Structure 1
Amino acid sequence: MGHNKTVWDNPAEVIRNLQPDNPVMAFAPTVLQERARRFINGFPGLVTYAVKSNPEEVVVQNLLSAGLKGFDVASPAEIDLVGRLAPGAARHYHNPVRARCEIAHAVEAGVRAWSVDSQSELDKLFEQVPTSIDGQKVEISPRFKLPVLGAIYDFGSKFGATPEMAAEMLRAVEARGYVASLTFHPGTQCVDPAAWESYIRVARDICDMADVRIRRLNVGGGFPSYRVVGVEPELEAIFDRIGTTAEEMFGQDAPELVCEPGRGLCADAFSLITRVKAVRDGSSVFLNDGVYGGLAELPVVGNIDRVQVFDADGRLREAERSGRIIFGPTCDSVDRLPGELGLPADITEGDYVIFHGAGAYSTVTNTRFNGFGAMTHATVMALE
């Protein structure tokens, strides 16, 4: 993936100067660092970045510059990436299903925080993971699930134990001499603070069932990015609800809190610049990027409607908008965005469509299917 070394004012300037024929991901380090400080200053505990959402080295480096001290890693590759770029940072291996070779790799790398959501996986950890590494106790956090609430994607369909099973595992973790903690994930793009409240209340029930006082409670990711015009996430309301609910439920025994935002940290620091390949008979629009590229997750989580359209000279098109079907560049019929997207009536071939807030699950899921997907990077001072 190429990177233009010039620092531009904004994506429109990229268009005016480069007129790129391939997709460009515009990155604003100032936006990423501001968002990181918003989490660090607002969340009542340790903030760890979910590397999977965007593992670009420049992202990790800017988060470190903003003061982030922890990372949620889900594979040996992510463990090694953070170990190389931030040797002193905390690494939480919270992908709850791992091959034995992956467990061995993480132990060798010195990882001391793990999650688990089944007895069979817990048995593997007991077999391979010592209770302390380099003189520090190892933490194991059973991960539990509840019915999805206020999210657009249910992580519980793949991960998470019932509260009763989580209590059994928690009891076993403490009996074996590990640091006993709990973790959950409320679901992707979760805008309702009540989702976290429900989970924290059940976390207390699990502790009571197990008769265990947990050291830490990881409240997961799910923190939303700004995807829909006029619906900017109220992160501080979520932070406040998490803190007050934990205090209410645990009182003097309140565990240390941890969160692991991915999308909520990185998404709004990137804008994807795409170009119109064709407007077919004045109706559907074909772009040079789609669901096999930087827009891979849109069919699952819904459209980003924070879009701007510029002509080939970088002038903003401001005509009245109407719904258009949007296709990507490949010859695969599933390469289309869900529903319709409102675009200016005068959009034409050669124009540019910019998707703001496209930094999560985009660069990392970009493919070269059908010979497309030659995405480049550009650095900008601001995104609009």
Structure 2
Amino acid sequence: MNEQSSWIWDTPNAHFSRHLPDEPIGYFSPNALRSKVSAFQAGFDGLLSYAVKANPDPDVLRCLTQNGVSIFDVASPAEIEMVRAIHPEAKLHYHNPVRSAQEIAQAKLHGIASWSVDALSELDKLGDLPKGSEIAVRIKLPVAGGLYNFGEKFGAEPAQAVPLLKAVAMRGLAPAITFHPGTQCTAPSAWESYIKAAAQIAKAAEVRLLSLNVGGGFPADRAAQPVDLLGIFNRIKAAKERYFCDQNPVLVCEPGRGLVADAFALVLRVKNIRPDGALVLNDGIYGALAEWRDMPPAHSRHIAVFNSKGDERLGKPAPRIIFGPTCDSLDRLCEPLALPSDIKEEDFVSIQGTGAYSAVLTSRFNGYGCSKQIYCRALTSAPRHL
């Protein structure tokens, strides 16, 4: 979102009920982001890193930096440059385990505090590194809990990770382990399973880990029940104390979605109600709802509908097929949304928790997509329990 307003509004409702925007609008609450940063800083027993891929907006990076975040998980030279432009002294974790030789050369110019690998060939590709440089071996396990499995693309199985971790140590580099339990993971047991496996791998490799990166996967508040982040934090701490009783690696987490999603709301407008009751909104899967093509939509308690005066529609919820605005018939959500039965054309649909993998995935296909960002002191009313 690169087009901004100089105004700071109390809520999204205060803005859209006055201006009646016909384009999709992203509303950003720095206060909400500060609150989530504080929750991680107070509850997680280790270092906090931000996964830039979730939302690389400069205002987001600036807000994070101003609130004590100094470690950033980057996945490309472009993300490295984004962070360096905001925080020249930030520590960079280049934890995309697959990189080209040219990407590695560019990254070395900026200084990398930690690299990740999941194969010996990728370790070899890094070439000469200063002695003591941290190399985090990324592992994968067949554990449930996330909405989809990151292990299908990245990660070494435990049997492969042992010799890889040994190779790191033999080269005079600092061994570490990293993992990702899967996006929007709500099962604390997933983290415990990974931490237990990490301890077994380190023991088999006969190395002491400099750090244990428990990844992203921390859930945003998009389900029927509120997220229990503290429960996840406590399970991680207890698992580390149990399985790493003979060594004390530094814990690191690198949330993206879990940190930034709840600091944004997306407000869309109803363009048309089709004869069969389906809705056409002014954004869809080619825009800020791109993720909703592959994962369930947010629960209805995070979605509200307002008329042009800013009054909430309170009709009985009814399932609606949702299409985006483009000329492509594939531009539809994977599941119907339960929306008020009294919804009308030109109403506004407010969706909470849209700060991650939304604007960054907008394609501008057919000229549509969310490109405007408005600041708010708070987001629309607290999530409702329906």
Fold in common (TM above 0.5): yes
Residue 130 of structure 1 corresponds to which residue in structure 2? 129
Give the Å deviation of 1:374: 4.8
Residue 23 of structure 2 corresponds to which residue in structure 1? 22
Query: Which sits farther off after the overlay, 1-10 or 284-293?
Result: 1-10
After TM superposition, list the pairs within 5 Å mapping 1:28-39 onto structure 2.
28-39=29-40
CA distance in 1 between counterparts of 2:78 and 2:378 reads 31
Contact 2:281/2:325 (<8 A) preserved: yes
Residue 84 of structure 1 corresponds to which residue in structure 2? 85
Residue 69 of structure 1 corresponds to which residue in structure 2? 70
- Report whether the alignment pairs 1:158 with 2:153: yes
- Report whether the alignment pairs 1:265 with 2:259: yes
Q: Which runs of 5+ in 1 are unaligned?
A: none
SS at match of 1:251: coil
Residue 203 of structure 1 corresponds to which residue in structure 2? 198
Query: Could you state the TM-score of these two structures normalised by the residue count of structure 2?
Result: 0.96
State the AA in 1 paired with 2:42: N
Residue 321 of structure 1 corresponds to which residue in structure 2? 317
Residue 246 of structure 1 corresponds to which residue in structure 2? 240
Match of 1:182 among 165, 177, 181: 177
CA distance in 1 between counterparts of 2:279 and 2:41 reads 41
Match of 2:303 among 300, 307, 312: 307
After TM superposition, list the pairs within 5 Å mapping 1:1-384 onto structure 2.
1-125=2-126, 127=127, 129-132=128-131, 137-229=132-224, 231-281=225-275, 283-305=277-299, 306-384=302-380
Contact 1:37/1:67 (<8 A) preserved: no
Q: Which runs of 5+ in 2 are unaligned?
A: 381-386
Residue 383 of structure 2 corresponds to which residue in structure 1? none
CA distance in 2 between counterparts of 1:214 and 1:374 reads 43
Query: Could you state the TM-score of these two structures normalised by the residue count of structure 1?
Result: 0.96
Give the Å deviation of 1:53: 0.1
Contact 2:271/2:346 (<8 A) preserved: yes
Query: Which sits farther off after the overlay, 23-32 or 58-67?
Result: 58-67
CA distance in 2 between counterparts of 1:10 and 1:282 reads 33
CA distance in 2 between counterparts of 1:296 and 1:236 reads 29
Q: How many residues align?
A: 377
CA distance in 2 between counterparts of 1:100 and 1:289 reads 38
RMSD over aligned Cα, in angstroms? Answer: 1.0
Contact 2:283/2:370 (<8 A) preserved: no
Give the Å deviation of 1:212: 0.8
State the AA in 2 paired with 1:227: R
Give the Å deviation of 1:286: 0.5
Identity %: 48
Runs of 4+ in 1 over 2 A off after TM superposition: none
CA distance in 2 between counterparts of 1:160 and 1:23 reads 37
Contact 1:33/1:65 (<8 A) preserved: no
Contact 2:26/2:370 (<8 A) preserved: no
* 1:56-75 Cα distance to aligned partner (Å, 9 max, x none): 01101111122112110100
State the AA in 1 paired with 2:294: V
CA distance in 1 between counterparts of 2:261 and 2:178 reads 23
